[in-house]
Amino acid sequence: MTTRRSSWRTAVGVVLTAIMLFPVYWMVNVSLTATTDMRKDPPNLFPVNPTLVGYEAVLEQQLPFLTTSLVVGIGTVLLTLAVAAPAGYALAKLRPRGEGALNFVLLISQMIPAIIMAMGFYAIYLKLGILNTVAGLVVADSTIAVPFAVMVFTAFMQGIPDELVNAAKIDGASHLRTFWSVVMPVSRNAAVTVSLFAFLWAWSDFIFASSLDNGGDSRPITLGIYAYIGNNNQQWNAIMATAVVASIPATVLLVIAQRYVAAGVTAGAVKD
């Protein structure tokens, strides 16, 4: 009975997984399909005459957009860690006044629609003259990542024994030295989790990118795909090839960091 139930659950899991991953497979299939086979009815379930023409077009036309997205993603990660890690340490170990109110504000800030924030950023950036700049996109994307990052760091650092922090203080370490040399090395899982989510948010951002774009050259891959679809709406193999290439960094990062993410997200969920 147990074996039958396990087999049935496995079969259902496989079917559901196949259904969810079919759009990804179809994206890869179309990216390898020749233009002459694109309008077949019924379409080929497999690329009968595979071609790399779509990927060649991506390398020729989309590399600047990919580079911009990579720079914005790394910049967002660095800015998020620089702001959220000290804030999480302060909330978890220093316990300042108004801690509850600050946690409430962080929670509320995650509920504000990104399009509302984009309108505010547009007005500010227009006055400062930094529309369509990498630095502007980094700051805008960080506003989405920082509240989540602070809560992750706070929950994780609350699980670090106070004896460890007190031992560093007894040895003469300042708050800054304790944070950098003791707390941060122990908080590796939280740092990896925060970095991954911050990068993915920046990499997939479209609202800030489109709202803060002023027709310049510093455009991320999301705007590259959007413009590419508008200009080449008949070359579906190139469009899907662009989507495949844009999905590779996120997929690689998720595979590499999945065990750190699982540990970082569940930190603080169980209290002694």
Over the stretch 67-121, which tens digit does the pLDDT of each residue have? Answer: 999 999 999 999 999 999 999 999 888 878 877 888 888 888 888 888 889 989 9
* pLDDT > 90: percent of the chain: 27
pLDDT band at residue 37 using 50, 70 and 90 as cut-offs: confident
Whole-angstrom Cα distance, residue 64 to residue 48? Answer: 32
**pLDDT averaged over the chain?**
85
State the pTM of this model.
0.83
**What pLDDT is recorded for position 214?**
67
State the fold for domain 52-265.
Answer: MetI-like fold (1.10.3720)
Residues 6 or more apart from 102 whose CB is under 8 A from it?
91, 96
**What pLDDT is recorded for position 79?**
96
**What pLDDT is recorded for position 60?**
86
List of long-range contacts for 210-217, beta carbons under 8 Å, 24+ apart: 211/115, 211/118, 211/119, 211/121, 211/122, 212/118, 212/121, 212/122, 212/125, 212/131, 212/132, 212/136, 212/137, 212/140, 213/131, 213/132, 214/131, 214/132, 215/132, 216/131, 216/132, 216/133, 217/64, 217/132
pLDDT band at residue 233 using 50, 70 and 90 as cut-offs: low
Expressed in angstroms, the distance from the first to the final Cα of the chain is 37
Statement: residue 170 has pLDDT above 80: yes
pLDDT in tens, 199-225: 999 999 999 998 887 666 678 988 888
Per-domain residue ranges of the chain: 1-51, 52-265
**What pLDDT is recorded for position 202?**
93
